[in-house]
Structure 1
Amino acid sequence: MTLRLPPLNAVRAFVAAARHQSFTRAAAELHVTHGAVSRQVKSLEAHLGVALFERRIRQVVLTAEGQAFYAQADAGLAQIGAAARALTARAPVRAVRINVRPSFAVRWLIPRLPDFVAQHPGIAPEVITSTAAPARASDGFDVAIRRGLQGWPPALQVRPWLEDEALVVGAPALVEGAGRHVASPRDLAAHVLLGARSRKGDWDDWLRQAGVARLRPAGRLALDHLHLVLQAAVDGLGVAMAPRSLLARDLAQRRLVPLLPLHRLALERYYYGVAPGAPPEAQLFVQWLEDVRSAEPPA
């Protein structure tokens, strides 16, 4: 009878959580959310039929069964890693060229790429940043990621991927001071509104949807790219309108906090396209994209 092995991603999440005795620190190591680690551990516990952690307030502690499994699983993962490194050390380096917009590269892709490299140590991801549509790309690529269905070359296989929405965020020190708290959309009048020139209509659309289209804020500041907008928000220059997809690390580390979380603006979803004749590495990369999306469901 074939042995039913536990899912490897769940084992990796458990080992990281056990090593740190923290789901939060494990999430930071794996570049996923706290909730994703918690779900993976719960799925592993369900698979094994035992509790691996004792959940306490702001702390998790290994059970006796968890300690026993951790000792074996940690060693097993290390052995798998060593075997993979021994093989890939002798193999020629392979590459996958990924075309994305700069803000997506900085805020979503690059923080998560260590996970792809760990899973596929013989593949070198080459990140190509461009604001041009894939149909107008000056450099060749194997995989491209963009919002919406406009601007794709007809020959590409384009598939729907990540759903997204925009929300308002700000630095804790900026919005938690006296007279600066944001309890309703009208409270934004006390703040400078930060936005990206590449997404000029988001603030107006959000204000209209929130019923305060005529709001007169303390000021508006437009920057070229969303990653600059978010850095400006972290530094306290104002409150930002930004896609949730680009906020994971800032929210997890509380550099930014969500304001008015019930007021969200739906955005075009992301799509990825695989170029004709792309190498097999491209399919491994898009499978990884799907795995990450599944592990990080919408908040």
Structure 2
Amino acid sequence: MVKERELPLIALRAFAVAARSDSLSAAAEELGVTHGAVSKQVRLLEDWLGQQVFTREGRGVALTPYGRVLAEQLSQSFRDIEAACHYVRRRRSKAVLAVEAPSTFAMYFLMPRLKRFEQANPDLAVWISTRMTGQTPDVSSHDLLITRGSSERIGGHSKASTALFEETLTPVCSLDLIQNSPITTPADLLAFPLITSATRPGHWEAWLQKAGLRDHVFEGGHRFDHMFVAMHAVREGFGSVVAPKEFFPGQPEWRLTCPFPDLVVKGEKYFAHPTSRADSRYLRRFIDWLKDEIKTAA
């Protein structure tokens, strides 16, 4: 693989301009250099490639088949670079805070609330990346890492961590699922499939024991690999799942309900870990907002 520092970038730019110009002289005029300078860069590029990119036709030039392929790819690449530069220039007055969070937390807690934060903080954009259970946190690419449970793999790469909240777990189900069969006691939930996720084992067992239903044998439910997939199944009316009730208040469009919001068991704790690249001005603002949102959801 060719490393970026080995690419003849000046020669590639000269070639890209020449490829869409009528002649090397026209390319030289656009670049503000001499005809000889453009011709030299084209020769350097051909030597580096080991292929001709132009054929000489009198005083003009024509692209070879290889030259045509390279010109098309470079044209698209330079358009992408230009678009990225315009995007960054447009956002010079807006800082970016890069946040990595567990997938379910990002999808069911952060994303539905994020617009409120950005409306209150027009000078700050939040970019969210998701992390699956068991995946190592990406310290180098983010300003803030949110973790559920142990954060041993972050090690000494973060600054002082902030405790956010401890999950309170309770059954969640779709209003459509129970519209014809009201749930009045914990035992009524057993009439519907009990959904579980591989990344959160033991939740139903713990809650059923807390509810006094110690002898239930699991059968006929649905098991998914991740919690956010299980939650989607709940929204589709497949059954109920034990999940953090902090994720669901204030989202009526989801048509979800926690039939026993006060009958809960404790789950994992969440922490916010600033990284060494974070700007403390923006970081503090986001973490304070996040803690306020958690209090509201509790």
Q: Is TM (by shorter chain) over 0.5?
A: yes
Partner of 2:214: 213
8 Å Cα contact 1:164/1:244 also seen in 2: yes
Letter in 2 for 1:153: G
2:184 equivalent to 1:154:
no
Residues 1-299 of structure 1 correspond to what in structure 2 (within 5 A)? 91-131=92-132, 136-137=137-138, 140-151=141-152, 152-156=154-158, 157-177=160-180, 180-216=181-217, 219-250=220-251, 252-253=252-253, 255-280=255-280, 281-294=282-295, 296=296, 298=298
Letter in 2 for 1:174: L
Cα distance in 1 for residues equivalent to 2:253 and 2:117: 22
Cα distance in 2 for residues equivalent to 1:217 and 1:135: 32
Cα distance in 2 for residues equivalent to 1:147 and 1:141: 17
The Cα of 1:213 is off from its aligned counterpart by 2.6
Q: Structure 2 vs 1, CA of residues 112 and 181 (structure 1 numbering), >3 Å: closer, same or farther?
A: same
The Cα of 1:148 is off from its aligned counterpart by 2.8
Letter in 2 for 1:183: T
Q: Structure 2 vs 1, CA of residues 90 and 166 (structure 1 numbering), >3 Å: closer, same or farther?
A: closer
Deviation per CA, 1:202-242, whole angstroms, max 9, x where unpaired? 11111222222321356221123323222211221111211
Length-normalised TM-score, structure 1:
0.61
The Cα of 1:186 is off from its aligned counterpart by 2.4
Tell me the SS of whatever aligns to 1:198.
Answer: coil
Q: Structure 2 vs 1, CA of residues 154 and 269 (structure 1 numbering), >3 Å: closer, same or farther?
A: same
Deviation per CA, 1:179-218, whole angstroms, max 9, x where unpaired? x333222223311001222112111111222222321356
Q: Structure 2 vs 1, CA of residues 139 and 198 (structure 1 numbering), >3 Å: closer, same or farther?
A: farther
8 Å Cα contact 1:230/1:240 also seen in 2: yes
Deviation per CA, 1:58-90, whole angstroms, max 9, x where unpaired? xxxxxxxxxxxxxxxxxxxxxxxxxxxxxx978
8 Å Cα contact 2:161/2:271 also seen in 1: yes
Deviation per CA, 1:17-44, whole angstroms, max 9, x where unpaired? xxxxxxxxxxxxxxxxxxxxxxxxxxxx
Find runs of 4+ consecutive structure 1 residues off by over 6 angstroms: none
Q: Which has the larger Rg?
A: 2
Q: Structure 2 vs 1, CA of residues 201 and 266 (structure 1 numbering), >3 Å: closer, same or farther?
A: same
Length-normalised TM-score, structure 2:
0.62
Q: Structure 2 vs 1, CA of residues 136 and 107 (structure 1 numbering), >3 Å: closer, same or farther?
A: closer
Q: Structure 2 vs 1, CA of residues 231 and 132 (structure 1 numbering), >3 Å: closer, same or farther?
A: closer
Q: Structure 2 vs 1, CA of residues 130 and 216 (structure 1 numbering), >3 Å: closer, same or farther?
A: same
The Cα of 1:243 is off from its aligned counterpart by 0.8
Tell me the SS of whatever aligns to 1:161.
Answer: strand
Cα distance in 2 for residues equivalent to 1:191 and 1:173: 12
In percent, how many aligned pairs have the same letter? 23
8 Å Cα contact 1:95/1:125 also seen in 2: yes
Deviation per CA, 1:136-171, whole angstroms, max 9, x where unpaired? 437521111122343342342211112321111222
Q: Structure 2 vs 1, CA of residues 90 and 207 (structure 1 numbering), >3 Å: closer, same or farther?
A: closer
Cα distance in 1 for residues equivalent to 2:267 and 2:171: 14
Partner of 2:36: none
Structure 1: runs of 5 or more not aligned: 1-87
Q: Structure 2 vs 1, CA of residues 247 and 110 (structure 1 numbering), >3 Å: closer, same or farther?
A: same
Tell me the SS of whatever aligns to 2:132.
Answer: coil
Letter in 1 for 2:166: E
Tell me the SS of whatever aligns to 1:169.
Answer: strand
Letter in 2 for 1:140: S
Cα distance in 1 for residues equivalent to 2:225 and 2:93: 39
Please provide the CA RMSD for this pair.
2.6
Letter in 2 for 1:159: T
Tell me the SS of whatever aligns to 1:259.
Answer: coil
Tell me the SS of whatever aligns to 1:260.
Answer: coil
The Cα of 1:108 is off from its aligned counterpart by 0.7
Matched pairs, number: 207
